[in-house]
Structure 1
Amino acid sequence: MHWRDQKEWTPWDDREIAGTVYSFKHLRSFDMSVMKEARGDLAEFKVTVRVVFDCHVVTEKADFVQNDSHYWQDTGGHGRKFDPTRYVYSMKLPTLISDLPSGKVKCYVGKHIGKYNNYMVWDSADAPGKAHYQAYFDIYKPTVQPAAGVPLLILYVQSAYLKDEPFAKQRERFKSFGQICAELAGAIAPKSKGPRSAMNRKK
């Protein structure tokens, strides 16, 4: 899980590609607060969630080409090629993630939960019936915490891409983002994955 090493995080500076300067400010890390009042078995809690983005504007792999601005190597030394379509869709990511605490965006449990904290969010693309844009993230409590005050969680967006099959999700189960944060912060004990979505129960 190299993404849990801060030295591996991508510094998102502006980049000139084929004579055009592209801004990557939307992929820079930001903090958001998650606060919940006491309710039922959920104790009152507050955490800071630091959001970090991976390379969501490039192909998964590519042979590195010297002196071509479309190509670069990520912090792990892997070859990548700039993808204009992925760049456009990456503009959705800050809103998709920042709308999680309010519940405006639903959170689903990914297939690999248990290996690491894998969750998914998605948004429709440009029109009903079209392929949708989805992002997977890991969220965890880092060993080094603030000296005092509010606990810190890291939300690392590992993968984000446009699905080529509309509605072809992997039977993810809904789970409240507040519940996920409360579990990681130690406010409540971990619970089950949550119910399977109605769309997936029909499959």
Structure 2
Amino acid sequence: MQTPLIILQELNELIKRVDKTQYDDLVDLLKQDRRFFFFGEGRSGLMAKAAAMRLMHCGKTVYVIGETTTPSMGQDDILLIISGSGSSIQLNGLCKIAHELGAEVAMLTADASKLQEHRCRYGFAIPAATKKRREWEPATIQPLGNQFDQAAHLLLDAAIIDGPYSEDSMENLSKRHTNIE
């Protein structure tokens, strides 16, 4: 039973190192009345879907890129990317398209240099370990990108609670939760 406690301790130390200004900017972004398009690959994609669902519960208009019901993106929309590495062929292409369409790019990544590279209006660097295990990443007992994905999920949930949920009610969230399962 020691492993869960070590993981929690690692996450606690990691969260203490998150930039407060970036976190506050993320909270403010999620409060905005805009359309949000979420993207991530692999487990980061699952974190993106989880955040999109929670934001939808708060009454926001959200889509997940790659789903068949996702509409076209346009001016003033937000592309919110979750990616430990901050780079992949698909991610690079999506950022380029989003900028061409007049959308703004927001990214949660472990590699802070990618925020500028992708011209992110909103950026959030999570100082977590990824599958790359670069020299500046923290040590962890966890495999691959577990630590980044866990931290991204935790921080997005917290930002939604501090953001749009703080302006809503549990009753409204419950009404927006699926009722056909």
Q: TM-score, normalised by structure 2?
A: 0.23
More helix by share: 2
Larger RCO of the pair (alpha carbons < 8 Å, separation 6+): 2
- State the structure with more CA Rg: 1
More strand by share: 1
Q: TM-score, normalised by structure 1?
A: 0.21
